[in-house]
């Protein structure tokens, strides 16, 4: 069953709700390819094939999380599209921090943590034709009401309920999140440097943090030196050389 809900502002200007989908991102992409306008939001109570970066499963039990995808059509060079992921991370982190009082922390490029455990994952999927960015599907998954997690992710994941004791419904969070997503998305398109700066402010690991980075070329130990204007993570290797990392798995090493 689909229920349409009007909301104010660009983000969520049209909101479609589903009881269950295989993936909100997949449906949003189909709608974008069919001409859906920017700001269309799709929410499911459950996903049967939710996913994160690098094809990983995103567990989406019914009624326990916010599973949201948005159709965006930013006027950006495709090489700059990673700014969309960062602006979403900023919006989520501010919502958790300012509105719920949780110590949110951005882990580059697409995770939001609370007390070192993942509470939100972000997946931005771009469509590029003839060197032009046609659309971006922005997926946001936030753990809301889980009281516990499966053994394999219990030490790595958390939820709003675990961290605050509050039972929060999607509709409690959406207006706050849409407002910040709209602000930071507009900023990403007009003044991306502000997004980079704010992301660094909200991340305890963007600078001077020891990390291990796994890429297709292998693993490297390094120290983070900030986020580049391109949205890449700047690292310094043991040799003293600096590099920009555009994709890869980052493991924090705080010892």
Q: Which domains does the chain have, with CATH numbers?
A: 2-201 (3.30.930.10), 207-252 (2.30.30.100)
HEC sequence for 158-204: CCHHHHHCCCCCHHHHHHHHHHHHHHHHHHHHHCHHHHHHHHHHCCC
Q: How far out from the chain centre does Cα 250 lie?
A: 15
Residue 54: pLDDT above 60?
no
- Per-residue pLDDT tens digits for 218-247: 899 999 999 999 999 999 999 999 999 988
Closest CA to 3 of 21, 15, 20: 15
- Per-residue pLDDT tens digits for 173-207: 999 999 999 999 999 999 999 999 999 999 999 99
In percent, the amount of the chain with pLDDT more than 90 equals: 72
- Per-residue pLDDT tens digits for 69-116: 999 999 999 988 999 999 999 999 999 999 999 999 999 999 999 999
Looking at residues 132-154, what average pLDDT do you find? 92
Global pTM reads: 0.91
Element (H or E) spanning 25, and its range?
helix 24-33
């Amino acid at each position: 069953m689909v229920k349409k809900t009007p909301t104010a502002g660009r983000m969520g200007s049209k909101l479609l709700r589903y009881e269950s989908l295989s993936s909100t991102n997949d449906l949003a992409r189909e709608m974008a390819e069919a001409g859906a306008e920017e700001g269309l939001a799709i929410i499911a109570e459950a996903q049967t094939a939710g996913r994160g970066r690098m094809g990983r499963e995103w567990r989406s039990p019914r009624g326990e999380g916010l599973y949201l995808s948005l159709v965006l059509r930013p006027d950006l060079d495709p090489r700059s599209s990673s700014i969309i992921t960062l602006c979403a991370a900023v919006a989520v982190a501010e919502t958790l921090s300012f509105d719920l009082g949780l110590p949110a922390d951005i882990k580059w490029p697409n995770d939001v943590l609370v007390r070192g455990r993942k509470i939100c994952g972000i997946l931005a999927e771009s469509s590029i034709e003839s060197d032009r960015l046609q659309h971006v599907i922005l997926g946001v998954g936030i753990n809301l009401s889980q009281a516990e997690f499966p053994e394999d992710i219990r030490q790595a994941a958390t939820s709003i309920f675990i961290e605050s004791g509050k039972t929060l419904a999607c509709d409690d969070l959406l207006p706050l999140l849409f407002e910040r997503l709209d602000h930071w998305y507009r900023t990403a398109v007009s003044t991306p440097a502000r997004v980079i700066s704010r992301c660094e402010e909200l991340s305890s690991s963007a600078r001077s943090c020891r990390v291990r980075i796994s890429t297709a070329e292998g693993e490297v130990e390094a120290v983070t030196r900030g986020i580049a204007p391109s949205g890449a993570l700047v690292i310094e290797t043991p040799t003293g050389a600096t590099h920009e990392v555009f994709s890869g798995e980052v493991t924090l090493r705080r010892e």
